[in-house]
Every structure is written in structure tokens, then in C-alpha cells.
Structure 1
Amino acid sequence: MDPIVGKNLSEFLETLRLREEPMGLYHTEVKPEECLVPPGMEPPTPEREQRGEIDWQAVFASFSCVMGGIWRARKKKTAACFSAVQPGCPGGSFFLGFHKPQTETILKYVTTGIPGWSTGEKYCASPEALRTIFTYLDPVPAPAAYCVVKPLSHFAADEAPELVLFFSRPEPLCGLHQLATFVTNDPEVVMSPWSASCGSIVTWPFHYQRRGLNKAVLGGWDPSARKYVPPDELSFTVPYAMFLLMLERYHDSFLTTDTWSTVVKKAARSAKVWGEQ
């Protein structure tokens, strides 16, 4: 990983009043020796669905939210690892690029429901509307067998993340948001599209990269995944190159001004309210 990370990260986090180091996401053909993995799952692919080979009751019995896995990795300061046979859930398998298109069963489950089984999550008006969204999103296929998320401090000198994931409440988050524009000169650098929470930290960032767009993604809006983050917390995902620019240039930004010091005071009050100091 770039030497600037080890040199500047601690002070960078302190300046922003971020109480937790960010996580790095990368793909690899080698499963980390120490990592948290979800239960095994029948691959929920449309091909297997069409052949009637998926036992959906068994699939949902082994359900394990991707964000839940990352939350446990955050608390234990270790890695979370996902694969095509251990994706966490059918939605995660799709959003992490292990299969596409999404199955008809999940399209119905997320929208209007399945008679006699599920009333539906009602996150989109119809299966057809959701299919249109998923076709546009078109997740980038996972480029290796494993998708791994681990603390930045766990990356070796010869490793580098593809994406950097922050988890933050509004005060530090406003610093990240504004700093993204400072280092890119793009007033629309931060995007916040509809998605499952795992889509916000994986799928949409890679979607923008594939289109040649340098974007940060604000996420964590998925009601089903809110139980896996502390109150008031959202995610903020940036490409690794953008993160390096933040570390390199934050000293030149508003983060050194009196204006930011007022935000720091609010961040301290927030931490006190949540019993963090």
C-alpha cells in the first residue's frame, strides 16, 4: 500500500474526528487465513432457478447479510470474505458480482411479494421496475474468487485496496463529503443512488468506474440493513486513488480552518451522547 497511508492516516482520522479506521475492499484468488465468512449457500443463479434446482427455503435459512458480515469484521478488526458459494444472501451474490441477472424470485421478494410465502419488501413498485434498475446497474462481475473487506491497517506493503469504505455519523461525514470535491473539483463527485447497502459500497462505485467516472458513493439507506450499523451512521465509499488524494491534500483544505473547529466540537458532543468518550 502507498506509504502515505501509514504516514498520514492516523492524523487524517483525528482531524476528521473519525473514531474508526476505514475498511479496504479488494478481490483475490487466495482466501485470507483469518476471515469471517457467511454460511454456504446454493448458488442463486437464474439458470438454476429456471431448472427448478434452487431450494429457496434452504437459501433463506442460510441468509447472512453482507453488511452484517462487514459489521462483525469491523467490531473484531478482522476481514470479512465473500464468494460465489458463500455470498451471504441472494441479493449480496448479485450486488457483489457473483451472478447476474437477478432471479425472478428475488425480484418479486424485493417488490410485490410471492403469494403464500412473502408479502414482499416493497422497495420498488414492481418486479419489472426493479428489473429495469438492475439492468441499468449491471454489476461488474467479480474479478476473482473472493471479495474481501478488512481494516486498512491489515493491508501488507505489497497490497492495496480497490475501494476504501468509511462509516461515519454526519459531522465527520460532512468533512469527507466536502473533501471529495476539494480533491476532484467536481461538485457532483458524491453520488447517493438507490441500492441495498452492499450495493452502495461495492456495486455503484465499480459501476461509476466502469463508465470512466471518479465518484464517491454515500450509502447506508437500506432499511433492511440499518440494524447492522450504529444509529445515525452512513457509509462513504471512495476509489483508492481518491482516498490517496485526500490523505495528500487535506492539510490544504477547510479541515485546517476555524470553521472546521466548530464541527469538531459538534462531533465531540455527538460522541458524548453515544457514550464514546
Structure 2
Amino acid sequence: MDRNFQDRFLEKWTRYFAGAELPIGFYYSDTPDRRNRARIPRGHRCIIGDLAKVRMGRPLCFDAGTIGCFGGKRYLGFESALAPDFEYFLSCGIPGKLEGERYKKSPDLVKEHLRHQKPWKAPGDYIHFKRFDMMGEEDQPLVIIFFACPDVLSGLFTLANFDQADPCGVFAPFGAGCATIVDYPCQELQSPEPRPVLGMFDVSARPYVPSNVLSFSVPWPKFVRMVDNMEESFLITGSWNNVRRRIKKAGNRP
């Protein structure tokens, strides 16, 4: 990442969102970060819980063997296959065999949903997560992820829509928590106008974030535009200053 751009964002973030948590970013590579490699899971482990450490400033590197959830492997791009009977797992379950999450009304509806969510293929063997201020010049993030309260989200949402006429410049797709911070925003990178993704509505992932926090994941090209627009946007107005003071007072920490 360009150091001047990094410093510019950090200065603006402190000015307009003082007290708010810094975002994290991720990129892929074929080389592990052995010093910060995630441990091999013992049973199920949600990657959203692991990312709490990244949000506190500890980089983490994952591969297919250190992700403790079949959904996480799929939505981070390391596995395209679905778990057996997935259409029942996401819906009504199978009596005496499989408990259903009941996130969709029927197995057939799950199958139809999956036609709209093609698996993302990781461009490298390892995915690296780092907090924004911990990134070096060699790090080239694909997506920047904010974990934020409603006041911060209002600023990010409005800033994302500042330079476009389309009222749907941000979208909130149905999906696992990890899908809304990696899979969907990475898919958006293929678009000429990549959209930020509002997420963390996944009931299963909610226990791993504070009760007043959602995610806002921004594909890198869109993030650069948002940063460039900060100083001519609503962020310099008295209206935002009223919100900004409340953000600073409340704070928003992992």
C-alpha cells in the first residue's frame, strides 16, 4: 500500500470519525506469514471470532487447513464443494439426522439461492488479514472491512453514495458473515462500479461481534474514491459534526 495514501486515510479517519474503530483489510498470496499464521482449529471455529484479534492489531494468516468452518473455507475461496445435505442444513433440517438453521423456508429455495451465489476462488493459497494501520508497503488489500456502529455506518453509507446517482450503491445480500466480508465484495471487484457490502446479519455470526456492530466491506477501488471524496463531502458540514461528536464520545472498540 502506498504510504502516503495510508497516512492520508488515517489522518482523515481521525478527523471525521474520531473514536471509531480502524478498519481491517485482506489480500491473498502463495506465501504464508509463519509468524502470524492462525492455529489449526480443534473442531468448529468461526473466523469472525478470529478476526476480533485482527481488529485489535494482530495480523493473522489463514489457509484451508486453519479455517475451522466449512462455510468459511467456501466463502474465503478455498473450497467450492458444499457440505452434505447443505440445502437441508440451511432450511428445515432432516429429522433425526440433521438440525436445520431455518434461514430459508425450504431446501428447494436454498438450491435456488445458490444459483445466485457462485463460489469465489481464492487467487492464492493464503489469505492475510491486517488492521489498516499495520499494513506495509508490500501489502495490497483487495477489500477494506469496517466493523461499525450505526452512527459510523451512516457516514460510510452516505460517503459511498456521494459520487453516484444509483440509489443502490450499497447492498446487503443474504449470506454468512464471512461471505459478506470476503466473497461478495471480492465478486464486486469484477464490476466496473464495485459496491460496498453491508453485512454481519448472519444470526450464527452475531455472537462474535458486539450487539451494536455490523460490517461494511468496501472493494479497494471504491475505497480509494471514498477517501478522495472525504474533504468535499457532507463530512465537513455541521450536520456531520453533530454525529461526529457522538461517535467520539461513545467510542467503538472491538
Please give the alpha-carbon distance, in whole angstroms, between the structure 1 residues aligned to 2:86 and 2:58: 30
Alpha carbon RMSD of aligned pairs, Å? 2.1
Unmatched 5+ residue regions in structure 2? none
Please give the alpha-carbon distance, in whole angstroms, between the structure 1 residues aligned to 2:52 and 2:87: 26
The match for 1:156 is 136
Is the alpha carbon distance of 1:140 and 1:66 closer, same or farther for their aligned partners in structure 2, counting shifts above 3 Å?
A: same
The match for 2:76 is 96
The match for 1:56 is none
The match for 1:33 is 34
Matched letter for residue 153 of structure 2? L
The match for 1:49 is none
The match for 2:8 is 7
Determine which of 47, 52, 58 is the counterpart of 1:66: 47
Matched letter for residue 123 of structure 1? Y
In structure 1, the residue corresponding to 2:66 is in which secondary structure?
coil
Instruction: Identify the structure with the greater helix proportion.
Output: 1
Matched letter for residue 138 of structure 1? K
Aligned residues with identical type, % of pairs: 30
Please give the alpha-carbon distance, in whole angstroms, between the structure 1 residues aligned to 2:121 and 2:49: 22
Is the alpha carbon distance of 1:207 and 1:8 closer, same or farther for their aligned partners in structure 2, counting shifts above 3 Å?
A: closer
In structure 1, the residue corresponding to 2:155 is in which secondary structure?
helix
Matched letter for residue 9 of structure 2? N
Matched letter for residue 212 of structure 2? D
Is the alpha carbon distance of 1:79 and 1:107 closer, same or farther for their aligned partners in structure 2, counting shifts above 3 Å?
A: farther
Please give the alpha-carbon distance, in whole angstroms, between the structure 2 residues aligned to 1:237 and 1:18: 19
Please give the alpha-carbon distance, in whole angstroms, between the structure 2 residues aligned to 1:219 and 1:108: 23
In structure 2, the residue corresponding to 1:85 is in which secondary structure?
helix
Matched letter for residue 197 of structure 1? G
In structure 2, the residue corresponding to 1:94 is in which secondary structure?
helix
In structure 1, the residue corresponding to 2:25 is in which secondary structure?
strand
Deviations 1:188-215 (A, max 9, x none): 1100011111111011112223344410
Please give the alpha-carbon distance, in whole angstroms, between the structure 2 residues aligned to 1:13 and 1:127: 47
Please give the alpha-carbon distance, in whole angstroms, between the structure 1 residues aligned to 2:201 and 2:130: 22
The match for 2:195 is 215
Please give the alpha-carbon distance, in whole angstroms, between the structure 1 residues aligned to 2:84 and 2:148: 35
Which stretch has the larger CA shift, 169-178 or 27-36? Answer: 27-36
Is the alpha carbon distance of 1:129 and 1:29 closer, same or farther for their aligned partners in structure 2, counting shifts above 3 Å?
A: same
Please give the alpha-carbon distance, in whole angstroms, between the structure 1 residues aligned to 2:109 and 2:32: 37
Q: TM-score, normalised by structure 2?
A: 0.90
The match for 2:98 is 118
Please give the alpha-carbon distance, in whole angstroms, between the structure 1 residues aligned to 2:189 and 2:105: 28
Residue 269 of structure 1: how far off its partner (Å): 5.0
Please give the alpha-carbon distance, in whole angstroms, between the structure 2 residues aligned to 1:80 and 1:209: 23
The total of aligned residue pairs comes to 252
Determine which of 196, 205, 220 is the counterpart of 1:240: 220
Please give the alpha-carbon distance, in whole angstroms, between the structure 1 residues aligned to 2:126 and 2:71: 16
Is the alpha carbon distance of 1:131 and 1:179 closer, same or farther for their aligned partners in structure 2, counting shifts above 3 Å?
A: same
Deviations 1:86-136 (A, max 9, x none): 222011111112122423333322222233243211111223321221231
Q: TM-score, normalised by structure 1?
A: 0.83
- Find out whether 1:177 has 2:178 as its counterpart: no
CA contact (8 A) 2:27 2:139 kept: no
Is the alpha carbon distance of 1:116 and 1:80 closer, same or farther for their aligned partners in structure 2, counting shifts above 3 Å?
A: farther
Please give the alpha-carbon distance, in whole angstroms, between the structure 1 residues aligned to 2:22 and 2:120: 27
Deviations 1:32-91 (A, max 9, x none): 133252535xxxxxxxxxxxxxxxxxxxx611101111123223x112332222222011
